[in-house]
Amino acid sequence: MNNIINDIRDKARQLLAEGKVDVVIGYEKGSLPLKATPFFAHSPAEVDSLIWDETCENNLATYVAKTPGKKAIVAKGCDSRALAVLLQENQLVRDDLYIIGVSCTGVIDQRKIVAEVGEILEAGINDGKISVKGMAGDKEYLFAELKDATCQTCRYPNPVLEDVHLGETIAVSQEAPAFADVIALEEQSAGERQDYFKEQMSKCIRCYACRNACPLCYCQECFVDCNSPRWLTGGVNRAENLFFQAGRVLHLAGRCVDCGACTRACPQGVDIRALNRKMTKDVYTMYNHEAGISEDGKPALNEYTTNDPEQFLVKE
Amino acid sequence: MGEIQVEAENKKYEPKIAAFLCNWCSYAGADLAGVGRVQYPATIRTIRVPCSGRINPLYVLKAMANGADGVLVSGCHPGDCHYISGNYVARRKFALIKSLLNHVGLEEDRISFSWVSAAEGIRFAEVVKGVTERVSALGPNNGIFKVVDDGGAAADE
């Protein structure tokens, strides 16, 4: 892992020194334990802050379109898929972008730790073991135990789009996605699902952290901020929360790359992914489309065939 | 006395259905039903849109949030779109809207999608009859999107 960090720093230093890019977007150590934070290196002197490990949970594609000039980005699999969708949608200029690809073994889901040991005071990562000192006790975890849900079923740990690859690639089975989590929900009755989402939505405080963390939520004006028409009143209740989440998920249908950034950014632990995954599954089964696996092509909802399934039509 | 009143109210219950009809086919179909004096329940509130492709998923959600008991969306038959491909792209969107809303627990029959051409006045009446029957069977929208005073908090207790 240390070798990769050195490789990333060397590459970033080289790119900045040669003037190929104005900024390198990567991660630095955050101010809280087990948190990495996005870092923008503008000069070769700054690159030694760059890191790469299992705490690099943000999707850096979020910052690319907002960053002016030529930029290099440290991209894991899901970041590169988000970049691919952004390129498909003409939000980025490929020539202004240098992608430093790194393979990702997954990121840590802090919620699992906080649930057991309370607030994390200190933590260290050593050889795939994570030792945590928490408010309510200490514990040592294996990385596999803490892996984020989205990383457990990740099919694209290696970047789909890159200018250079650092470190080893990860072998992964390319079987069709299974969607066990979605199927488990689908098998419940409509009432049970309604109760589940009611419970989830009553947790939401509409801070919009999910929207801000999402690399593909780039609307100039989000529908929640729109005054005319006014879709939402601004009050926080589960009906409006579901309106927001369902509206957001429908905007992301056929585009979501399932990076899980929204769910990790949520301070309330709302299962946002349950909605996104349902759409991902539907798009995959109905239109045989996976978002952002290549630079070419279009998002699923920008295309059509004359024989798309029509089970949704009213029964007559 | 109370019971009798309730029964009378039940009999009177007519759902309010927001009907998004495309300008070129379904709206003309509804017009034809009118011109032809074809009877159908006066439950729909028609909202004319230029094309079924114009329908924003938020329209459907907002109709439910504002208290519609049901939503009917109707456009030209695939292949007959005035704008060539509007209803083809809409079709993918509709499939996902329906699927997502069912997934979060909205009753299947609250939201209906249909293709009705300008020549299908009688069929339009049949579609409205069918949708009205199914929505009536479900009763008023007390659903998960309706913003009533407290956003459903009271109903949760």
Query: Is B4's pLDDT higher than 90?
Result: no
A293 and A183, same domain (yes or no): yes
Longest CA–CA span in chain A (Å) reads 70
With contacts defined as CB-CB under 8 Å, which chain B residues touch A250?
57-58, 93, 96-97, 100
* Total tally of structural domains belonging to chain A: 3
Confidence of residue B5 (pLDDT cuts 50, 70, 90): low
Residue B64 is assigned to a structural domain of this protein: yes
Interface list for B 124-143 with A (CB within 8 A): 126-127, 130-131
pLDDT, position A236: 86
A12 and A55, same domain (yes or no): yes
Query: Is A1's pLDDT higher than 70?
Result: no
Q: Which helix (H) or strand (E) holds A16?
A: helix A2-17
A202 and A125, same domain (yes or no): no
B144 min Cα distance to partner chain A (Å):
6
Interface check A283 vs B, CB under 8 A: yes
Which domain CATH number covers B76? 3.40.50
Residue A316 is assigned to a structural domain of this protein: no
A94 and A214, same domain (yes or no): no
pLDDT > 70 fraction of chain A, expressed in percent and rounded: 99
A184 and A269, same domain (yes or no): yes
Confidence of residue B1 (pLDDT cuts 50, 70, 90): very low
SS (H, E, C) chain B: CHHHHHHHHHHHCCCCEEEEEECCCHHHHHHHHHHCCCCCCCCEEEEEECCHHHCCHHHHHHHHHCCCCEEEEEECCCCCCCCCCHHHHHHHHHHHHHHHHHHCCCCHHHEEEEECCCCCHHHHHHHHHHHHHHHHHHCCCCCCCCCCCCCCHHHHC
Interface check A235 vs B, CB under 8 A: yes
- pLDDT, mean over chain B: 89
Domain end marker among A137, A172, A207: A172
A300 and A191, same domain (yes or no): yes
Per the structure, the complete domain to which residue B52 belongs is given by 13-156
pLDDT > 70 fraction of chain B, expressed in percent and rounded: 85
Interface check A224 vs B, CB under 8 A: no
- Cross-chain Cβ contact A237/B152 below 8 Å: yes
* Total tally of structural domains belonging to chain B: 1
pLDDT, position B10: 57
Query: Is B60's pLDDT higher than 70?
Result: yes
Q: Which helix (H) or strand (E) holds A115?
A: helix A110-117
Residue B135 is assigned to a structural domain of this protein: yes
Domain end marker among A93, A128, A146: A146
Query: What's the angle, vertex CA B147, arms to CA B141 and CA B152, rounded to 5?
Result: 80
Interface check A87 vs B, CB under 8 A: no
Residue B3 is assigned to a structural domain of this protein: no
Residue B72 is assigned to a structural domain of this protein: yes
Confidence of residue A3 (pLDDT cuts 50, 70, 90): confident
Confidence of residue A312 (pLDDT cuts 50, 70, 90): very high
Best residue in B99, B109, B133 for a mutation probing chain A (most A CBs within 10 Å): B99
When mean pLDDT is compared across A55-59, A126-130, A306-310, B72-76, the lowest value belongs to A126-130
pTM over 0.90: yes
Which chain A residue has the Cα nearest residue B97? A250
Query: A140, exposed or middle or buried, with CB in 10 Å at 0-12, 13-18, 19+?
Result: exposed
Interface check B101 vs A, CB under 8 A: yes
A186 and A306, same domain (yes or no): yes
Query: Is B155's pLDDT higher than 70?
Result: no
CA dist A116 → A113, A139, A146, B114 (Å): 5, 9, 12, 51
Which chain A residue has the Cα nearest residue B156? A198
- The b/e string for A192-222 (b: 16+ C-beta within 10 A; e otherwise) is ebbebbbebbbebebebbbbebbbbbbeeeb
Per the structure, the complete domain to which residue A94 belongs is given by 1-106+153-172
Residue A281 is assigned to a structural domain of this protein: yes
A296 and A186, same domain (yes or no): yes
A124 SS3 class = strand
- Cross-chain Cβ contact A233/B144 below 8 Å: no
Residue B2 is assigned to a structural domain of this protein: no
Residue A239 is assigned to a structural domain of this protein: yes
A133 and A199, same domain (yes or no): no
Query: Is A4's pLDDT higher than 60?
Result: yes
| Section A172-195 average pLDDT | 90
Which chain A residue has the Cα nearest residue B64? A243
pLDDT, position B154: 53
Interface check B84 vs A, CB under 8 A: no
ipTM of the complex: 0.92
A2 and A90, same domain (yes or no): yes
Confidence of residue A233 (pLDDT cuts 50, 70, 90): confident
- Cross-chain Cβ contact A242/B153 below 8 Å: no
State how far the Cα of A67 lies from the Cα of A206, in Å rounded to an integer. Answer: 26
> Per residue in B81-106, pLDDT tens?
999 999 999 999 999 999 999 999 99
The DSSP output letter for A313 is B
Interface check A306 vs B, CB under 8 A: yes
- Cross-chain Cβ contact B98/A300 below 8 Å: no
With contacts defined as CB-CB under 8 Å, which chain B residues touch A185?
103
B46 min Cα distance to partner chain A (Å):
18
Best residue in B40, B94, B104 for a mutation probing chain A (most A CBs within 10 Å): B104
With contacts defined as CB-CB under 8 Å, which chain B residues touch A256?
none
- Cross-chain Cβ contact B152/A239 below 8 Å: yes
Query: Is B147's pLDDT higher than 80?
Result: no
| Section B19-44 average pLDDT | 96
Query: Is A125's pLDDT higher than 80?
Result: yes
| Section A71-84 average pLDDT | 96
Residue A180 is assigned to a structural domain of this protein: yes
The contacts of residue B6 (CB under 8 Å, 6+ apart) are none
A211 and A273, same domain (yes or no): yes
A27 and A164, same domain (yes or no): yes
